[in-house]
Chain A
Amino acid sequence: MSAPATPPPALQELKDNLRAAPRRIFETAFRSGKPTTDRTRSTFIFSNVFLHLHSVRVHRWTLRWSTSMGLGIATTAAFLLTLITGILLMFYYKPYPEAAYQSIKDIHFVVPTGRFIRNIHRWAANVMVVTVILHMARTFYTASYRRPREFNWLIGMGLLAVTLGLSFTGYLLPWDQLAYWAITIGANIAQSPREVTDAVGITGWFDPGGMQKFLLLGSDSVGPEALIRFYLLHVMILPLALMALMSVHFWRIRKDGGLARPADADQRLGNPPGPVYPVFTEAPMKTYSLAAIVRGRTPAVGKGPENTVPSMPHLFYAELGVFMLTTLVCLALALISDAPLKELANPSVPENPAKAPWYFLGLQELVSFSAFVGGIGIPLLVLAGLGLIPYLDREETGTGEWFGGPGGRYVVRQALLVGFGASLAIEAFAIRFGWIREWYLAVPQLVVTILNPGTILAAVYGLYSVWLVKRYRSTRAGALGLFTCFLCGFLVLTAIGTYFRGPNWVFYWSPGDWPRH
C-alpha cells in the first residue's frame, strides 16, 4: 500500500508558480491592475512610460473637434505610418546609385505589396508636411503659443524643420531623374549665400554657401556620397531627432496644462450633458498627487474635476479616431496614385524645368529672382519672425479661441486680401514686365539682391503688420496679419512654382503650352 500521490511541497510550489506565471507577468507589467475604475485607469496612464505623456484627465474643451482639429495627432499618425512603411522599405532598399534605382523598381514590381507600401510611405510623408503646417496655423490662430507654451512653439518649429528635412532627404533616395535634379536644385539653394559673397567679392576666402552645399552633398555634385548622406539622415539621424523632439513636445503639453483654452471655457461649456461615463467609482483619494506637485496653472490644482473627463477612454478614442482617419486617408491616396519613379538619374540630361520638392517651390520661385533672398534671406526672416511671435505677443485676450485677440476675424480677412493681393500683384508684374536685370543688363547684383519681388513682398507684409500693430495697439493684431500674409504668400508662390513654371522657369498657363524639344 502506498501513500496518496501527493508531490513534494517544493515541486507543488514550482507547479503553482508556473501556473501563476502568466498572470504575474501581466501584473508586474501593468502594476495598477486592470483599468476598470477611474482610479486604476489614472494609475495605468501615469505608470506607463508612453501613456504618461498624456495627462490623466482631459478637459472637455480639448475634446471639441474645433479646438485642435486633431492636426497634431494626424501629424504624429502620418509620422508613425512613414516609420512603419519606411522600416519595411529598408529591407529592400540599397543606398548606392544605380542599385538604389533598381531596388525601387524591384519594390515596385516584385516585392509583395511593395508598391502599395511605397505609396503609403510617400503619401504619409506628404500628409505629414501638410498637417504639420496646418497644425502650426491652428496653434497660431488660437493663440495657443502664449505663456506658458512659448517654448513648445519653438520646439514645434524645430519639428517643422525636421519634418521638411526628412521629406527632402527622402526625395533623393529613389535615384531617378526627379530625385537627382530636385536635390541638385535644393543643394544650389543651400549654396545661395554665394550671390552676396560673389557680389562683395569675398567668395575666394569666405564661402559659407559653397561650404553648406559641400556639407550637404559631400561632393561638388550629387553622387554616391550625397546618397549615403541623405540615406543616413533620412533613416537614422532625423527620425531620432524627430522622436526626441516629439516626446518633449507632447510632454510639455501635459506640463503646460493641456491644450490652451479660453479663460471662461468652463462657463461656455456649461454642465456636462448628463453623467459622464465612466464616473468615479471610488472616492478620489490621491488621484492628483502627481499633478499637485506640479507648479503653476495646471487645471486640476485647486479645482474639482467637474469639466474634465478621464483621458482613458475619452481622449484615447479621439486620438485613435484621428490616427485611423489619417491612416484611411493615406491608404486611399496610396491606392489611387502611385509614387513617381522617373528614368534612372542621368547627370548629363538635366530635367527642364528641374523642380525642388513642392514645399520648397515657393522658395525656388524666390530664388529665380535672387538666390540669396530666396535661399537664405526670406527663410531666415520667416524663421526669426515665427520664433519671436510668442515672445513679442504677451497679451492675454483671445487665448484658446480661433482668431482670438484684437482685430480678430476682421484682421484675418483683411490680411487675406492684402496677402493674396500683394503676392499676386508682384508676381503678375514680374511675369509680365520682367525685372531689373531684364531692363538694365549691367546693374550690380547687389541691387537685384536688395530690390526684387521677394524683398518687396516681405517689405509690404512687414509694413502692413506694423500698421496693424499701431492701428489696434496690439502686437497680436500685427502677428495675425503677418502670419496670414505669410501663409498667403507661401500658397501663391508654391502654386506658381508648382503649376505655372515651365522650362527655364518661364511662366506658362498650363504644362500643355510648354515648348517641346
Chain B
Amino acid sequence: MEKNKYLLLASSLGALLLLIVAAQDSFRKPWRQIQSSGRGDEGPIPVQLRQITNANLRVGDRCVSCHVSMAPGEQSVAGAAIFTAHKPVVHDPAEYGCTVCHGGQGSATEEADAHGAVHFWPEPMIPVRFAEAGCGTCHAALQVPNREIFQRARLTFERLDCAACHRVDGRGGTIRPGGGGMEGPNLSRAGIAGYDKGWYEKHVTKAAKEQSGPWKTSFGTIDGADLESVALYLSTRVAAPALIEAKATFHSFGCLGCHRVSGAGGDEGPDLSRAGEKDPGQADFTHVAEGNGLDRWIAEHFRSPVAVVATSQMPPVAASQREIDLLTLYVLSLRRRELPGAYVPRDRMQATRFGQREFASDGATLFGAFCAGCHGPEGKGKHAVGGTTFPAIANPDFLGLVGDRFLKETIRQGRPGRRMPGWAKEGGLREEEIDRIVAHLRELGGTEGPAEDKWTVSSKPESGRDVYAANCSGCHGAKGEGGKGPALSNRVFLEIASDKYLLETVSRGRRGTAMAGFQEPSPTRRALARSEMESAVAYIRAWQGGKK
C-alpha cells in the first residue's frame, strides 16, 4: 500500500513540472522577445500584444506585435530589422490593417501561422514580389488595354521624356535646383486622382511664354496619336504599375475566350473571378516543383496545365518567364472581400454598378482578350494535334466572302455544339463591343466584305450527296459534323451563311489553310464543275432543315 503514496508523489511532481514547462512556453512567445529589443523615443517600448482593428473591414491584425513600427503611432520604434516601417502607401496600415492587402492570418501571433503558409489556413500571405495582387481584393482597374497597346503607350511616354519633369511609379522627375520641389507633379496616381484634361494646351501656352529653363528646353509639340497614347498611359497610373502590366498581358493571351472574369468570358474553363483566393491546401502540389505557394502552382499551371491538373483541357501557354510571372500576378489579384459601402472603391463600384469594363473596349484589346486564345493573336487559326481546329478568321479569302452580318451573327450566337460560345448571351459581350471586334477583324484581314446578297443555289440536294462524300466528308465529316475542318451542319452556321458564301468558299478555297479551291484541279483530284459545287452546297444547305 506504500506504493500508492509513491505513485501520488511521483505523478504530482511530474504534473507540477509539466505545468511549469507549459507556463514557461506560454510566456516566452517570440513576439515578447522581439518587442523587448525595441527602443522608442522614450526608451524601451512596453511589451504587450499589439493589434490593428477595424470593425468595418472585420480586421483584427496582430501582425504589429512583431512588426511593431507598423502599428499606429509607433513608426519610430527601432532596434531590429523587423522594425522597418511600412513604406508610405495610400492605405495607412494603421487604419486598414495588414491582411486586407497582404493576406495571411491576422489573429495569429507566431510567424508561421501569421504568414499563413500552414495547414488549414486558406489565405496565406501574398508573396512580396506579387504584392500588388493584394490591390485586386478591393480594386478593379478599369479599361486596361492589351499588352501591345499598353507597351506602345508606355514607350510613347518614355520617348516624349515626360519623366524628365514628372515622377511616375517611383522613377523620373527632377528636383528644382534651389528648392521648390519637383518640376512637374507626380503622376503615379493620375488614373485615380485625375488630371487636367487640358494639360497639353496649357503646356504649350506655358512653353511659349517662358523664355528659359526647362519649359523652353524640354517641352516640344506632340502629335495626336501620341497624345492619345499618353492619355491612355495616364489613365492606367493607379499606383499599381505591375498589376496593370499583368492585366494587359492577360488581355493579350485570349484567356477570356474560355474563362470568365467578373461576368465576361467563355465557359470552357473555370470562372476565374476569384481564382486568386484558391486555398493552397485544396490544390495538388505533387507536380509543382519547389515550394507550396499558390503562385508556384499558378505559374506551373501556365507552363503545363495537364501536368498540374490531370483533367485540364487548357493548352500550355506559350509565354516567356516574365510573361508567366505577370499572368501569375494577375490571377493572384483575382480575389474579393465583402466590403461595407463606405469602403467600396470607386473603380469597383463603377465595374459592378455601372457596368464599366475592366478591359479596354477597343477592337484590338477585345480581340486579344477574347479571341486570340483560340484563333491566334493574328487570327490565323490554330490546330491542336488530335484536337479541334480553330478557323483562321482573319483570312483575307474568308473575309472577302462574308459580310459584316455574318461575322457579327457568328460572334453573337456562336456555334452550338462547338467550342465557340454565343458571345452576346453566354459570353457577356455587348453589341458595340462585338461591332468593334468585327471592325478589328476587317483591319487584320485587310479586305472589305461583299454587299449582302440573297442569291441561292437551285440544285436538288440529292444530287450533291456523292460530290460531298467524295470531296468534303474527309475533313468536314460524313454528316458535316466537322473534323479537321469546321462543322458545316451547324444550325447557326447555316442560318448565317449565304449560299454564295458557301459556293465561293468551295470554289476558291481558303489560302493558308487545308481548304483548297475546287475550281482548280489538285494532284489528287480533278476540278469540280460549277454545277457539282452547287449541288454540294445544296446538299449542305439541306442540313439546315425545314427553315430556309
Interface residues of A (CB under 8 A from B): 60, 63, 65, 102, 105-106, 109-110, 112-113, 115-116, 176-177, 276, 309, 314, 317-318, 320-322, 324-325, 327-328, 331-332, 334-335, 341-343, 349, 516-517
Binds A, one of B8-16, B212-220, B444-452: B8-16
- Once the chains are docked, how many angstroms separate the CA of A317 from the CA of B23? 27
Q: Mark B489-518, 1 if CB is under 8 A from A, else 0.
A: 000000000000000000000000000000
Contact call B120/A327, Cβ cutoff below 8 A: no
A112: chain B residues at CB < 8 Å are 26-27
Contact call B8/A113, Cβ cutoff below 8 A: no
Contact call B14/A321, Cβ cutoff below 8 A: no
Contact call A318/B25, Cβ cutoff below 8 A: no
A320: chain B residues at CB < 8 Å are 8
Contact call B120/A328, Cβ cutoff below 8 A: no
- Once the chains are docked, how many angstroms separate the CA of A105 from the CA of B107? 7
For residue B29, give the distance in angstroms from its CB to the closest CB of chain A.
Answer: 9
A276: chain B residues at CB < 8 Å are 1
B18: chain A residues at CB < 8 Å are 328, 331-332, 335
- Once the chains are docked, how many angstroms separate the CA of A474 from the CA of B279? 61
- Most B-side CB within 10 Å, residue of A314, A331, A349: A331
Q: Mark B384-396, 1 if CB is under 8 A from A, else 0.
A: 0000000000000
> A318-B7, A328-B15 are known contacts; what are 15 more A-B pairs with Cβ within 8 Å?
A102-B107, A109-B108, A109-B110, A110-B49, A112-B27, A113-B26, A317-B7, A317-B8, A321-B4, A321-B11, A324-B11, A324-B14, A335-B21, A341-B120, A517-B283
- Once the chains are docked, how many angstroms separate the CA of A483 from the CA of B127? 58
Asked if B353 is at the interface of the complex by the 8 Å CB criterion, the answer is: no
Contact call B281/A314, Cβ cutoff below 8 A: no
- Once the chains are docked, how many angstroms separate the CA of A335 from the CA of B17? 12
B328: chain A residues at CB < 8 Å are none
For residue B311, give the distance in angstroms from its CB to the closest CB of chain A.
Answer: 10
A109: chain B residues at CB < 8 Å are 62, 107-110, 113
- Once the chains are docked, how many angstroms separate the CA of A320 from the CA of B6? 11
Given contacts A112-B26, A113-B22, A516-B286, contact A343 B8 (CB under 8 A): no
Sample (26) of A-B pairs whose CB atoms are under 8 Å apart: A63-B1, A105-B108, A109-B110, A110-B49, A113-B26, A115-B26, A116-B25, A116-B26, A176-B120, A177-B120, A276-B1, A309-B1, A317-B1, A317-B7, A320-B8, A321-B4, A321-B7, A321-B11, A324-B14, A328-B11, A335-B25, A341-B120, A343-B120, A343-B121, A343-B279, A517-B283
Q: Which residue of A lies closest to B7 (CB)?
A: A321
For residue B239, give the distance in angstroms from its CB to the closest CB of chain A.
Answer: 32
- Once the chains are docked, how many angstroms separate the CA of A115 from the CA of B121? 17
Q: Mark B104-122, 1 if CB is under 8 A from A, else 0.
A: 0001111001000001111
Q: Mark B287-331, 1 if CB is under 8 A from A, else 0.
A: 000000000000000000000000000000000000000000000
Contact call A331/B11, Cβ cutoff below 8 A: no
Contact call A328/B22, Cβ cutoff below 8 A: no
**The residue from A65, A116, A314, A327 contacting B11, defined by CB atoms under 8 A apart:** A327
Contact call B11/A325, Cβ cutoff below 8 A: yes
Contact call B286/A317, Cβ cutoff below 8 A: no
Q: Mark out the residues of chain B between 22 and 63 whose CB falls within 8 Å of any chain A CB in the assembled complex.
A: 22-23, 25-27, 49, 62
For residue B523, give the distance in angstroms from its CB to the closest CB of chain A.
Answer: 52
Contact call B109/A110, Cβ cutoff below 8 A: yes
For residue A306, give the distance in angstroms from its CB to the closest CB of chain B.
Answer: 15
Asked if B205 is at the interface of the complex by the 8 Å CB criterion, the answer is: no
Q: Which residue of A lies closest to B113 (CB)?
A: A109
B339: chain A residues at CB < 8 Å are none
For residue B323, give the distance in angstroms from its CB to the closest CB of chain A.
Answer: 27
A517: chain B residues at CB < 8 Å are 282-284
Contact call B282/A317, Cβ cutoff below 8 A: no
- Once the chains are docked, how many angstroms separate the CA of A320 from the CA of B5? 9
Asked if B19 is at the interface of the complex by the 8 Å CB criterion, the answer is: yes
**The residue from B22, B110, B279 contacting A116, defined by CB atoms under 8 A apart:** B22
- Once the chains are docked, how many angstroms separate the CA of A60 from the CA of B49? 56
A115: chain B residues at CB < 8 Å are 26
Q: Which residue of B lies closest to A178 (CB)?
A: B120
For residue A344, give the distance in angstroms from its CB to the closest CB of chain B.
Answer: 8
Given contacts A110-B49, A331-B18, contact A317 B5 (CB under 8 A): yes
A177: chain B residues at CB < 8 Å are 120
**The residue from B12, B21, B279 contacting A324, defined by CB atoms under 8 A apart:** B12
Contact call A314/B4, Cβ cutoff below 8 A: yes
**The residue from A65, A102, A334, A343 contacting B281, defined by CB atoms under 8 A apart:** A343
Contact call B8/A321, Cβ cutoff below 8 A: yes
Contact call B121/A325, Cβ cutoff below 8 A: no
- Once the chains are docked, how many angstroms separate the CA of A355 from the CA of B388? 43
For residue B526, give the distance in angstroms from its CB to the closest CB of chain A.
Answer: 56
Q: Which residue of B lies closest to A177 (CB)?
A: B120
For residue A274, give the distance in angstroms from its CB to the closest CB of chain B.
Answer: 11
Contact call B14/A328, Cβ cutoff below 8 A: yes
- Most A-side CB within 10 Å, residue of B1, B5, B286: B1
Q: Which residue of A lies closest to B121 (CB)?
A: A343
- Most B-side CB within 10 Å, residue of A60, A309, A342: A342
For residue A325, give the distance in angstroms from its CB to the closest CB of chain B.
Answer: 4
Given contacts A332-B18, A516-B284, A517-B284, contact A106 B107 (CB under 8 A): yes
Query: Lowest 10 CB-CB distances: which A-B pairs, in order?
Result: A321-B7, A516-B284, A324-B11, A321-B8, A317-B4, A331-B18, A325-B11, A342-B120, A318-B4, A113-B26
For residue B492, give the distance in angstroms from its CB to the closest CB of chain A.
Answer: 36
- Once the chains are docked, how many angstroms separate the CA of A65 from the CA of B4? 9
Q: Which residue of A lies closest to B12 (CB)?
A: A324
- Once the chains are docked, how many angstroms separate the CA of A349 from the CA of B49? 34
B1: chain A residues at CB < 8 Å are 60, 63, 276, 309, 314, 317-318
A309: chain B residues at CB < 8 Å are 1
For residue A218, give the distance in angstroms from its CB to the closest CB of chain B.
Answer: 27
**The residue from B4, B15, B120, B281 contacting A331, defined by CB atoms under 8 A apart:** B15
